Amino acid sequence: MKKKISLNYGCALKKVVGKEGISKKELQKFSSTFKKGLFSLSQKRTKKIIGFADLPYEKKLCEKIIKKAQQLRGHYDCMVVLGIGGSALGTSAGLEAIKGSFFNHKPGGEREGWLKVIVADNISPDFISEIFDLIPFERTCFSVITKSGTTSETISTFAHALNLAKRRFGGDWKRRFVFITDPEKGFLRELARKEKVESFEIPPNVGGRYSVLTPVGLFPLACAGVNIRKLLEGAASFDRVCFEKNLFKNPAGIFASIHYLLYKKGKRINVFMPYVEKLKTLSDWFAQLWAESLGKQKNTYGKDIFIGPTPVKAKGVTDQHSQLQLYTEGPFDKVITFITCQKFENDIKIPEIGKFEFSKKSFFKLLKAEEIGTMFSLLKAGRPFLEISLPRVDEFYIGQIIFMLEVATALWGEFANLNAFNQPGVEFGKIIAKKILVNDRKVLGNLKKLKLKEYSV
Amino acid sequence: MKKKISLNYGCALKKVVGKEGISKKELQKFSSTFKKGLFSLSQKRTKKIIGFADLPYEKKLCEKIIKKAQQLRGHYDCMVVLGIGGSALGTSAGLEAIKGSFFNHKPGGEREGWLKVIVADNISPDFISEIFDLIPFERTCFSVITKSGTTSETISTFAHALNLAKRRFGGDWKRRFVFITDPEKGFLRELARKEKVESFEIPPNVGGRYSVLTPVGLFPLACAGVNIRKLLEGAASFDRVCFEKNLFKNPAGIFASIHYLLYKKGKRINVFMPYVEKLKTLSDWFAQLWAESLGKQKNTYGKDIFIGPTPVKAKGVTDQHSQLQLYTEGPFDKVITFITCQKFENDIKIPEIGKFEFSKKSFFKLLKAEEIGTMFSLLKAGRPFLEISLPRVDEFYIGQIIFMLEVATALWGEFANLNAFNQPGVEFGKIIAKKILVNDRKVLGNLKKLKLKEYSV
């Protein structure tokens, strides 16, 4: 049998961690709520209301993406992803997890001809200039990714890139762009049709933050040489596991149930702490998934609930020197999830230069010792935690953890009777921004309310 | 008069944001607590118990650092910082703020010969290998930074670097290393003496997380071409401002007081959200300062208080597409601080490619419109926030914000009667890690408690 990632939840139980944990009984009792939640989620899946769980089976699409990536590999050295939020975070996470923290620093040969992938996920003016100064424009192609096809940040940076490309290459600009957007609607889809630009589709029933296994994440990752077949295989291998009806055999179910039960007891802060440097960006991806899906004013009955756990990104061992003090001694308002890894591709022996316990041990051994030291600290301080353990960091297991966390998020939403697939709270800000851009008098008149001089120091 | 950064706190007041804010009266009443806190802090400063506030005046040291940096500039292309926590975060923050997000990607000419600075702040085995594969060893020098001179992560990576350097350069290795550590004690200081390695001192009365304006931060930053004179000038210019006795004229005081009062009302999550891409690493620096200083089990009378706000790192505009949904609709448990910037060095006009409000506007204008849109969303949702506004991002203003946030952190600690300068909660984990490395039977025997098979799924 193929290995799989596993979730260890002993240290979230009262029996082990003490009164701040939950009892096995509570968890057993919760089993019926879990079953209802899972059933409701399965129904949504069957009815195609949600599509994320079926993405791992899109094998034909996967091959089409790989073919396109192979083709670009010969022609370009660099890809700039123009996208933000769900159109960017999965790519950043997958790229660092699989290709390491310095992939974009490596020369082409060490990348085996695969493309550097630069994710332009902000509109800070000097950030945009920096990127366009940095890239070898002649050898750069662009992925323009927006589900609606109209996202301000993405379309504005695209406008800039398009303008430069047209000036430089005339009608030939088209070969340098790939659009990833809605199959029917929106500005970008229309442009793709009109100008015959290569494009991929984002299924309408897959929201941005659940879209890493659509072309949104798969295409840029394939261009960087990530084995997306294996990524999908990993995810598929966790489908049955995460839709298992026995709570105690379902890691997504246990993850969601424990977090939900502890949230109800006041633990509203969920720390996500990989003990692997290159998994730090996975925390950004998870933070969006968790926060935007579960932070909701209303439940599905329209009642005000103002609910939502706050995800916090940390990384081991680094944040032992930054956040751990707070986690062990601060308020009892947190649940910590460690992401650990059982095997690293490269390890190094630490030479002896003095009387240190780590002399002649390896970095892996030192890392593991500190990881366990941190866990014991939390245990001693009575702070509940979970551990997601990866046999190693590769596409297969990243596929599993992505799938598991997506299902877990959706389940938490079911438990709380909220819609984990919308984001009504961000619309108002977009409207205001547009009004400001067209110099709407009413909004501009209200501006001084924000910047009251008498409260400025 | 020279411009300065300013703190706008109107939107944290009941009058503007509604019932979740604090009243002007509460703040006025708090003025006496503030005065006591400031007095206590000033006393500690006068008695040299704490040293961070006097760092901006170390002009001779600053010139010595610049001289050394100038000397390395001619000889090396790259510096690796071996340090973690407070020995790393200030450098990372300052480097990205001043030199942008892609400085290390630039060729030497564009860096005007200044050194790339790679911060090796983790011991993930493949992260370490990646760094040593990447650097041009011949043209690389190392800053080894640890206050105690014995930090496991730093000394172990140093052992590896030293081993490689000795093999390659024999006795000549010394020229390639600079040690930054305690003036008297510790392994690294002893080695510096014995081997006559160039070194700088970390004042014993400056803790790691307050040490960015010591050689810890100044030296690597100077090697990257950051104007550290201006950084110190900025900090010095905020000394009087942040030790001002009138609360309503003291931005550090207002920042600390409002956060403390809102913490007491249940707002335990403090989001730090720069609307400037290159300030995102400043959030990591602040997160350590805030969490490790204020997360404490006991107050100074030895009473259990289990206190501490949880810092959360976000960035605008990006996290409008990730965290904003939670901030506007989730629980009322947050205070958000925006860091905004009034002027960017480079701006770009957005070409017209369709009917969009941002067409022919600039990226700066779009950024500002979204920033204000986000603020209005929060205001509408009744969520209190603050704004720290920078005239622009340069060394002078970064010096001001560093100084202000350090004083604010120390003041919050005074208000809560806790020691903001120690970190007792991290010692236990270190002891356990050491015991594991020497195969301590008792600890190893307890290991199965952490990894209970029956709770693994």
Active-site choice (B20, B96, B233, B292): B292
Whether B422 maps to a domain, the answer reads no
Q: Cβ contact (<8 Å) for A377 and B450?
A: no
Evaluate if residue A289 carries a pLDDT over 60.
yes
For residue A186, list chain B residues with Cβ-Cβ distance below 8 A: none
Q: Cβ contact (<8 Å) for B373 and A306?
A: no
In this predicted structure, what is the pLDDT of residue A1? 47
Tally A–B CB contacts below 8 A.
Answer: 466
DSSP A392: S
- State the CB neighbour count (10 A cutoff) for residue A77: 18
Give residue-wise pLDDT tens across range B88-127: 999 999 999 999 999 999 999 999 999 999 999 999 999 9
Same domain, B107 and B159: yes
Same domain, A284 and A178: no
Phi then psi for residue B244, to 5 deg, are: -65, 135
Give the span between the Cα atoms of B330 and B246, in whole angstroms.
Answer: 35
Whether A450 maps to a domain, the answer reads no
Instruction: Count how many domains chain B has.
Output: 3
Give the domain CATH number at B36: 3.40.50.10490
- Is residue A393 classed as helix, strand or coil in its secondary structure? coil
Cα Rg for chain A, rounded, in angstroms? 23
Residue A84 — pLDDT band, cuts 50, 70, 90? very high
Question: For residue A365, what are its two tokens?
Answer: 């051994």
- Tell me what the pLDDT averaged over chain A comes to: 97
Which stretch of A224-233, A275-284, A440-449 has the lowest confidence by average pLDDT? A440-449
Question: For residue B365, what are its two tokens?
Answer: 């204008």
Q: Is B113 left (phi over 0), alpha (psi -120 to 50) or beta?
A: left
Evaluate if residue B231 carries a pLDDT over 60.
yes
Question: For residue B93, what are its two tokens?
Answer: 């923050």
Mean pLDDT of all residues in A295-300: 98
Top residue of A152, A349, A363 to mutate, by most chain B CBs within 10 Å, is A363
For residue B335, list chain A residues with Cβ-Cβ distance below 8 A: none
Same domain, A200 and A61: yes
Same domain, B393 and B279: yes
Q: Which of A179, A197, A232 is the last residue of a domain?
A: A232
Whether B421 maps to a domain, the answer reads no
Phi then psi for residue A341, to 5 deg, are: -135, 130
Q: Cβ contact (<8 Å) for A451 and B10?
A: yes
Residue range(s) defining the domain that contains residue A212: 52-232
- State the CB neighbour count (10 A cutoff) for residue B195: 13
Residue A450 — pLDDT band, cuts 50, 70, 90? confident
- Tell me what the pLDDT averaged over chain B comes to: 97
Q: Cβ contact (<8 Å) for A85 and B318?
A: yes
In this predicted structure, what is the pLDDT of residue B2? 61
Same domain, A283 and A187: no
Place of tokens 């022609």: A75
Same domain, A190 and A322: no
Same domain, B410 and B442: no
**Burial of residue A172 (number of CB atoms within 10 Å: 0-12, 13-18, 19+):** exposed
Same domain, B331 and B437: no
Place of tokens 């901030």: B327
Q: Cβ contact (<8 Å) for A128 and B363?
A: yes
Whether A277 maps to a domain, the answer reads yes
Mean pLDDT of all residues in B33-39: 98
How far is C-alpha A158 from the geometric centre of its chain's CA atoms? 23
B1, B99, B6, B96: which is closest to B397 by C-alpha? B6
Whether A18 maps to a domain, the answer reads yes
Q: Which of A232, A264, A297 is the last residue of a domain?
A: A232
Indicate if the alpha-carbon torsion angle A307, A44, A408, A251 is positive or negative: positive
A201: which strand partners? A181
Distance from CA of A62 to the nearest CA of B (A): 27
Residues 6+ apart with CB under 8 A from B14: B21, B22, B23, B24
Residue A2 — pLDDT band, cuts 50, 70, 90? low
Angle between helices B228-237 and B215-223 (to 10 degrees): 140
Q: Count Cα atoms within 13 angstroms, Cβ side, for B426.
A: 20
A95, A76, A57, A93: which is closest to A221 by C-alpha? A95
Q: Is the ipTM of this complex over 0.95?
A: yes
Same domain, B178 and B258: no
Which stretch of A406-410, B314-318, B344-348 has the lowest confidence by average pLDDT? B344-348
Question: For residue B60, what are its two tokens?
Answer: 């001779």
User: Looking at chain A, which residue has its C-alpha nearest residue B152?
Assistant: A358
Cα dist. A24→A92, A259, A261, B301 in Å?
Answer: 37, 14, 12, 38
Distance from CA of A411 to the nearest CA of B (A): 17
Same domain, B269 and B167: no
Question: For residue B236, what are its two tokens?
Answer: 């010095």
Task: Confirm if A362 and A347 have CB atoms less than 8 A apart.
Answer: yes
Same domain, A40 and A90: no
Mean pLDDT of all residues in A85-109: 97
Same domain, B318 and B341: yes
In this predicted structure, what is the pLDDT of residue B74? 84
Q: Is B75 a catalytic residue?
A: no
B341: which strand partners? B390
Place of tokens 């195609």: A48
Distance from CA of A228 to the nearest CA of B (A): 22
